[in-house]
Amino acid sequence: MADQGRTAGRGRDGRWRAAGATAAALLLVSACTAPAATSPDTTVRDIRATLDRRAAAVLDHDPDAYAATVAPGATGLRTAQRRELANLADVPLSSWTYEVTDVHEHGAAGATADVELRYRISGYDSAPVTTDRVLDLERHGVDGSWYITADRAGKNGGRQLWQQGDVRVVRGSHSLVLGVGRTQDELGRIADTEDRAVPAVSAAWPERWAARVVVVVPRTVDDMAGLLGAPVANYRGIAAVTTGETGGAGRTPADRVIVNPQAYAMLGTFGQRVVLTHETTHVATRARTSAATPTWLSEGFADWAAYRAEDRTPAQAAPELAEAVRSGELPAALPTDEDFRFGGDSGRLARAYEGGWLACALIADHWGEKKLFALYRAVGRHSGRDGAVEQALHEVLGTTEQDFTARWREYLRSRLG
């Protein structure tokens, strides 16, 4: 099971030292000095200076410097922040920055800052992961420096993996697997599966892409939901999801494949391979996926890529839809975005995925794989959702939505009936 290129580091005994002398000195200064009022521009500049020191401490793995940006009296936060930095020790970071987007002052010595944390993993991220944080700060000392008193998730920021525990890192030939509360053997098996998924996606998607993926494996589905900032009910039974904003042109934020360890473990080897190949397809196609892309096309293409080289009949790969067709419940239209909603009817969700896959399979079988790629790109570069599919069907396949839907319904009947 071991890969030649895989390594995993664990040891860090003796690396973290207490900063008691620093804390005592800061307490003494703050007790003797009243901060002077400053202009809003100066406040923002000085808060940025504090966060720049904090970012440098993360990259230097310097717990004393990291803790020194926390207010002297915030002992609980100081302890938690040291633990978080220790949890990050094995993660190969190439950058870590804070961007202050807004500041609300509370008198002369208090402020709340809205901040974007941006970080990249070395060798994997060409663009940063971005997450919103909200920081409460106080001014202390002769120079009126700002110190953090609270650090919490912002509107578009969930709980971070290193806030959930010690991050274990396993490297594959095409993957980096980050896990909390999972064994190294388990993470190694996921790396093995991801290392098979990446070449499969490269064979299915004609454009060049990074061909390397970061996979995140939290301790529980509750922790998964915490990372995604969404209700846990949305992800029960969902084996994995991919994060990242859709693009359409230029560089897009770094993707993460996040695994639900409980649901993923219930799958066999084949199911696990299909799941990770599906999610990896989303990473490869991200720059060509936009708000104009309907979910049936993005999810259907990902399933098409995952099943492309597998020995499964349509009825085996689409059991829910096959049962519906055999029962005389042939869908009247392609799946809507609402049909793909997590946390709803599981049967409806399964039929939506299967219907999207068979729509893409129809295009590949009838018009050819190159036309399927061309359709995907054409839809993604459209300026908006309205008319995107209709125009692409006309320009790429020489058909209409009505005709394509009729062909799809007949394809379901012939392949699943």
| Stretch(es) of the chain classified as CATH 3.10.450.50 | 20-157
Give whichever of 9-13, 241-245, 291-295 has the largest mean pLDDT: 291-295
> Does 37 score more than 80 pLDDT?
no
Task: Determine contact, residues 307/274, Cβ cutoff 8 Å.
Answer: yes
Percentage of residues of the chain with pLDDT beyond 70: 88
Q: Considering only 137-146, 310-319, 387-396, which range has the smallest mean pLDDT?
A: 137-146
| CA–CA separation, 310 and 329 (whole Å) | 27
State in words which class domain 164-284 has. Answer: alpha beta
20-157 placed in CATH 3.10.450.50: yes
Report the pLDDT value the prediction gives residue 250, as an integer from 0 to 100: 41
Amino acid at residue number 333: A
> Does 292 score more than 80 pLDDT?
yes
| CA–CA separation, 53 and 120 (whole Å) | 18
Report the pLDDT value the prediction gives residue 252, as an integer from 0 to 100: 52
Tell me the CA end-to-end span of the chain in Å, nearest whole number.
41
Report the pLDDT value the prediction gives residue 17, as an integer from 0 to 100: 31
| Stretch(es) of the chain classified as CATH 3.30.2010.30 | 164-284
As a whole number, mean pLDDT of residues 10-17 equals: 34
Report the pLDDT value the prediction gives residue 246, as an integer from 0 to 100: 57
Task: Determine contact, residues 179/90, Cβ cutoff 8 Å.
Answer: no
| CA–CA separation, 63 and 23 (whole Å) | 13
Q: What is the chain's mean pLDDT, rounded?
A: 88
Report the pLDDT value the prediction gives residue 38, as an integer from 0 to 100: 57
pLDDT tens readout for residues 202-243? 999 999 999 999 999 999 999 999 998 888 988 988 999 998
